[in-house]
Amino acid sequence: MLHNLSIGELADRLAEKRVSSVELTRHFLARIERLNPGLNAVITVTAERALASAAAADARIAAGERGRLLGIPLIHKDIFCTDGVRTSCGSRMLDNFIAPYDATVVTRLERAGAVMLGKANMDEFAMGSSNETSYYGPVRNPWDTSKVPGGSSGGSAAASAARLAAYSTGTDTGGSIRQPAALTGLTGVKPTYGRVSRYGMIAFASSLDQAGVLCRSAADAAEVLKVMAGFDPKDSTSVDVPVPDYPALLDTPLRGLKIGLLREFFEGLESRNAALIQEALKVLKALGAETLEVSLPHLPLSVPTYYVVAPAECSSNLSRYDGVRFGYRCEAPKDLMDLYKRSRGEGFGAEVKRRIMTGTYVLSAGYFDAYYLKAQKVRRLITDDFRAAFDQVDLVAGPTTPTPAFAIGAKIDDPVTMYLNDIYTIGANLAGLPGLSTPCGFVDGLPLGLQLCGPHFSEAKLLSAAHHYQRATDWHLRAPGGYE
Amino acid sequence: MADWETVIGLEIHAQLATRSKIFSGSATAYGAAPNTQADLVDLAYPGVLPVLNAEALRMAVKFGLAIGAKIAPRSIFARKNYFYPDLPKGYQISQYEEPVVGKGAISIVLDDGAVKTIGVTRAHLEEDAGKSLHEGLANASGIDLNRAGTPLLEIVSEPDMRSAKEAVAYMKKIHTLVRYLEICDGNMQEGSFRCDANVSIRPRGAASFGTRAEIKNLNTFRFVEKAIQYEVARQIELIEGGGKVVQETRLYDADRNETRSMRSKEEANDYRYFPDPDLLPVEIEASFIGTVRASLPELPDEKAARFARDFGLSAYDAGVLSASREMGAYFEAVVAALGAAHAKLAANWVMGELSSALNRDNVEIAAARVSPQALAGLLARIVDATISGKIAKDVFESMWSDGKAADAIIEEKGLKQITDSSAIEGVIDSVIAANPKQLAEYRSGKDKLFGFFVGQVQKATGGKANPAQLNELLKAKLAAGPK
């Protein structure tokens, strides 16, 4: 079936004119119509626009143009601004917000001929690890619809896993691509901070946010990342480093690759999860990689550090939602203060408010040094730990998540337990490093991920290692029942 | 009554003369229809990001070099967080702990001619906010975001000034400097140059400072002076009456000439400054500083010193003539055409007749109706004694009003000086003959009547008799004794 084909296979069929982009687009739109109600993964379907893009792609193909993404449908996380299309960020605050411009990520993909089918559900303002904080309701995991798909890119993950699109975009501030990828059996890549432009991507925590992809294989991810990545003069934090030809580098031999096993990641890890990771490492060793144990002594401090830095930045980033120029405005405000208080009070959900309050607190006079400044120092120590580790090894490996997908409702009332979901993923964000999650097996019928993390701009190495692993295994090819 | 000393520090906001805003591509031109110069970045739309305008940074560095300050090799933009409708992001991007310009200084000339150095603590880049409009809107406020994101250089002085006059002299000096550097148009009516004044008093000789009040948004030199004078008097009266000055922000009401409390320290916002994660630290390389340094124009103090040295002008004249680049250029063009030997004459005319004509008609010197070359042409006729200085003033007025050259006017109106001694003597003789009474009085010692005779002769010649010649001849004739 078309929806199980990889990006490479689809590109070949489009080039050979065995299928048109319009047919492909109709096929996926039909799947969305049929399967999305059970998942709530897609919150805006842009069928008309998709068919127009598809027709344009077909014309380009007919004119002899070839491109690996040309004519292939995707779904964007609803955090990326899309011109003329509602961009809600999963919040009531932006439920009425029609973005007047395209994010750079959207522009780059569109220029390559990608066909946007719609916008994916997400945790409100990307704050959450289960997709339960969305104003549009929770997303269900296609592997078990009583379970969460992870978050915050939960809609993107469920959509890609359920084959509602060939791939989807996501953003990762503390694990928001890798964790849902792991919980839905996908390959998720969070690039180096600055690798992909943040322009037009609605900010949660600016120093941590990074756009990436949720695909069904490392090879697919390589194709998409190649297009998404690159310097953007509109984003001062984007880095002007040439983008390697990721797909061409996938076959780089693994021999001699040194993989560090993070001692801190395996301490207390649930045994079945640990066994899967060990099994995956055996596969990598058999492919020629070497493994050795490394330690990141400050890594256990990453969750508290993150929950100071990210809320601090979000408290300021979200100040612009004041009911004045766009977004939600309360009914009949009686004065300015009332307008602010009620627009924000009614427009934001509980988790967003919790983080704004936490962030406001840690930045306030008298607490700044003890929290924000201290967290920045710890962040530096964590970064230094990684740097020291990468003097010994090429990549580090470990689990992506502590557990497989959990039940909807199980953790939503306990923020601290929820926050601990990101214990293995946050380090890479604090240090600005690229990370990747690849499917590595199942526990109780639910997928789990192996996480690889490398030095800045080592995406090619991560993708290549995952690609070699995926050629030796078939975890990534399994589709959830009912979505094959 | 105690002897109080006033302590003043100024925070000057100079709007940088960039074409586009500090973090967006919108134009900065003044006076456009509301919200026509605000793009998505200025409106703080979701997802947009700031990008620093390199020109604003270059201008800040230029200022830093001109006041001999250290330029920070690495400076940081921070967010100052507060809610206000004219602040679309809910924070202002400013520099807080690590400004681009560090400690520097400038000198001012006091009334008694003494030179005083005023320290500049720092200067930093920041964005301006928009404007709230309350007039003409029933039951609502309008927001104009044209000004939002306009680049400002905030120049913070040390508390080195001791009187309102010194504060004004300092502000004028900075005003001159930023215009010299062409980094600010200095237009105070449009708000391009304004200041906040921190004012406190202490018993003369005290080592520590008194509690200060900050007077916000003063936008004329006169208001700076008046507001500080009022505030000093208020604080003295308060303390001498047994009260205490509280740290607060005050507003100056020009109509009533008084300052009023706006908010106290307790009511002040907690701005929750932190480094803006959307902007990388600004790294400035030595080569960039070198390039900017090479682009610096001759600075006001340097120009004044050169005028004094090369043209033998007094410090005061040299200061006036170098107060703006345009004034200096005009003066130098006159001297170039007239010859350096007559620089003093040129200085007197530029500061005298020319300046009063400019003031009277409210014209900028660059648009003066008499060009430097034309003025030099007029002055050359004084130098070669074709006309007297007094006649020259009339000629100048004609030049100003109908734009003709001095020689043409002199010719047309027959203003050429009489330098023929026999002709002047003839007039003197007839004046003396017509005024025997005065002659007798003069000869009996009433020297003051000399002026009377000069006046009578010039009246008879229409003011055209060469004054020096007239003096000499008249003196001889009056002394000659009865015929």
Give the C-alpha separation, A95 to A92, whole Å.
5
pLDDT band at B466 (very low <50, low <70, confident <90, very high): confident
Q: Which of B392, B413, B434 is the last residue of a domain?
A: B413
My answer on whether B211 and B86 are in the same domain is yes
- Cα–Cα distance list, A362 to A110, A309, B96 (Å): 40, 9, 18
The answer to whether residue A322 is domain-embedded is no
Sheet containing strand A211-215, strands side by side:
A42-45, A115-120, A73-77, A167-171, A211-215, A187-190, A435-443, A446-453, A395-399, A258-262, A290-294
Query: Is there a contact between B46 and A233 if contact means CB atoms under 8 Å apart?
Result: no
Q: Which chain A residue is nearest to residue B88, measuring alpha carbons?
A: A320
pLDDT in tens, B131-185: 988 887 777 888 999 999 999 999 999 999 999 999 999 999 999 999 999 999 9
Query: Is there a contact between B46 and A94 if contact means CB atoms under 8 Å apart?
Result: yes
Closest Cα in chain A, distance from residue B248 (Å): 18
pLDDT reading at B482 higher than 60: no
My answer on whether B269 and B154 are in the same domain is yes
Q: How many domains does chain B have?
A: 3
Task: Give the residue ranges of chain A where pLDDT is below 70.
Answer: none
My answer on whether B230 and B338 are in the same domain is no
pLDDT in tens, A319-349: 999 999 999 999 999 999 999 999 999 999 9
Chain B 278-307, residues with CB within 8 Å of chain A CB atoms:
278-280
Among the partner-chain residues A89, A312, A364, the one whose CB lies closest to the CB of B46 is: A89
Q: Which of A293, A268, A261 is closest to A452 using CA atoms?
A: A261
Closest Cα in chain B, distance from residue A269 (Å): 34
Which of B48, B51, B134 has the highest number of chain A CBs within 10 A, making it the mutation to test binding with A? B48
My answer on whether B71 and B183 are in the same domain is yes
Q: Which chain B residue is nearest to residue A201, measuring alpha carbons?
A: B47
Give the C-alpha separation, A189 to B479, whole Å.
111
Among the partner-chain residues A94, A198, A316, the one whose CB lies closest to the CB of B91 is: A316
> Is B32 at the interface with chain A, CB within 8 A?
no
Sign of CA dihedral B289, B295, B301, B302: positive
Q: Which residues of A touch B79 (CB under 8 A)?
A: 316
> Is A313 at the interface with chain B, CB within 8 A?
yes
My answer on whether B180 and B235 are in the same domain is yes
Q: Which residues of A touch B83 (CB under 8 A)?
A: 319, 322, 340
Query: Is there a contact between B46 and A360 if contact means CB atoms under 8 Å apart?
Result: no
- Which residue among the candidates A91, A130, A152, A238 is catalytic per the annotation? A152
Query: Is there a contact between B270 and A202 if contact means CB atoms under 8 Å apart?
Result: no
The answer to whether residue A382 is domain-embedded is no
Written as six digits, the tokens of A430 are 């604090």
The answer to whether residue A353 is domain-embedded is no
CATH code of B468's domain: 1.10.10.410
Query: Is there a contact between B270 and A200 if contact means CB atoms under 8 Å apart?
Result: no
> Is B363 at the interface with chain A, CB within 8 A?
no
Give the C-alpha separation, B376 to B311, whole Å.
16
Give Cα A427 to chain centroid, integer Å: 15
My answer on whether B341 and B285 are in the same domain is no
Give Cα B473 to chain centroid, integer Å: 47
Closest Cα in chain B, distance from residue A199 (Å): 6
Query: Is there a contact between A200 and B272 if contact means CB atoms under 8 Å apart?
Result: no
Among the partner-chain residues A80, A201, A360, the one whose CB lies closest to the CB of B272 is: A360
Question: What residues have CB less than 8 Å from A470, skipping those under 6 apart?
Answer: A187, A217, A218, A219, A438, A476
- pLDDT of A79 reads 98
- Which residue among the candidates A53, A77, A147, A411 is catalytic per the annotation? A77
Instruction: Confirm whether A343 is a catalytic residue.
Output: no
Q: Which chain A residue is nearest to residue B39, measuring alpha carbons?
A: A100
Q: Which residues of B touch A233 (CB under 8 A)?
A: 51
pLDDT in tens, B353-388: 999 999 999 999 989 999 999 999 999 999 988 888
**Ramachandran angles phi, psi of A447, nearest 5°:** -70, 155
The answer to whether residue A286 is domain-embedded is no
DSSP code at position B354: I
> Is A370 at the interface with chain B, CB within 8 A?
no
- Which residue among the candidates A176, A197, A238, A437 is catalytic per the annotation? A176
Q: Which of B273, B291, B309 is the last residue of a domain?
A: B291
DSSP string, A249-298: HTTS--TT-EEEEEHHHHTT--HHHHHHHHHHHHHHHHTT-EEEEE--TT
Instruction: Confirm whether A176 is a catalytic residue.
Output: yes
Average model confidence (pLDDT) for chain B?
92
> Is A392 at the interface with chain B, CB within 8 A?
no
As for the ipTM of the complex, it is 0.96
Chain B 84-113, residues with CB within 8 Å of chain A CB atoms:
85, 88-91
- Cα–Cα distance list, B99 to A208, A269, B81, B102 (Å): 25, 47, 18, 7
My answer on whether B105 and B241 are in the same domain is yes
Q: Which of B413, B429, B458 is the last residue of a domain?
A: B413
- pLDDT of B481 reads 60
> Is A101 at the interface with chain B, CB within 8 A?
yes
Among the partner-chain residues B51, B79, B280, the one whose CB lies closest to the CB of A316 is: B79
Query: Is there a contact between A320 and B277 if contact means CB atoms under 8 Å apart?
Result: no
Q: Which residues of B touch A89 (CB under 8 A)?
A: 46
Among the partner-chain residues A80, A198, A237, the one whose CB lies closest to the CB of B280 is: A237
Its domain, for residue B440, covers: 421-479
The answer to whether residue A95 is domain-embedded is yes
Query: Is there a contact between A336 and B274 if contact means CB atoms under 8 Å apart?
Result: no
The answer to whether residue A288 is domain-embedded is no
Contact A13, A19 (CB under 8 A): yes
Its domain, for residue A458, covers: 2-258+393-477
- pLDDT of B225 reads 96
pLDDT band at B1 (very low <50, low <70, confident <90, very high): low
- Cα–Cα distance list, A253 to A216, A281, A285, A394, A471 (Å): 22, 16, 12, 13, 13
CATH code of A78's domain: 3.90.1300.10
Closest Cα in chain B, distance from residue A162 (Å): 29
My answer on whether B102 and B191 are in the same domain is yes
Q: Kind of pairing, strands A435-443 and A258-262? A: unpaired
Sign of CA dihedral B408, B412, B417, B419: positive
The answer to whether residue A190 is domain-embedded is yes
- pLDDT of A421 reads 82
- pLDDT of B483 reads 43
Written as six digits, the tokens of B482 are 């009865």
Query: Is there a contact between A319 and B52 if contact means CB atoms under 8 Å apart?
Result: no
Classify each residue of A150-181 as buried b or exposed e, where b means 16 or more C-beta atoms within 10 Å of its C-beta: bbbbbbbbbbbbbbbbbbbbbbbbbbbbbbbb
> Is B33 at the interface with chain A, CB within 8 A?
no
My answer on whether B457 and B400 are in the same domain is no
My answer on whether B84 and B141 are in the same domain is yes
My answer on whether B335 and B397 are in the same domain is yes
Least confident window among A372-376, B302-306, B444-448: B444-448
pLDDT reading at B2 higher than 90: no
Give the C-alpha separation, A149 to A162, whole Å.
11
Written as six digits, the tokens of B354 are 């020319």
pLDDT in tens, B62-97: 999 999 999 999 999 999 999 999 999 999 999 999
The answer to whether residue A48 is domain-embedded is yes
Q: How many domains does chain A have?
A: 1
Query: Is there a contact between A199 and B49 if contact means CB atoms under 8 Å apart?
Result: yes
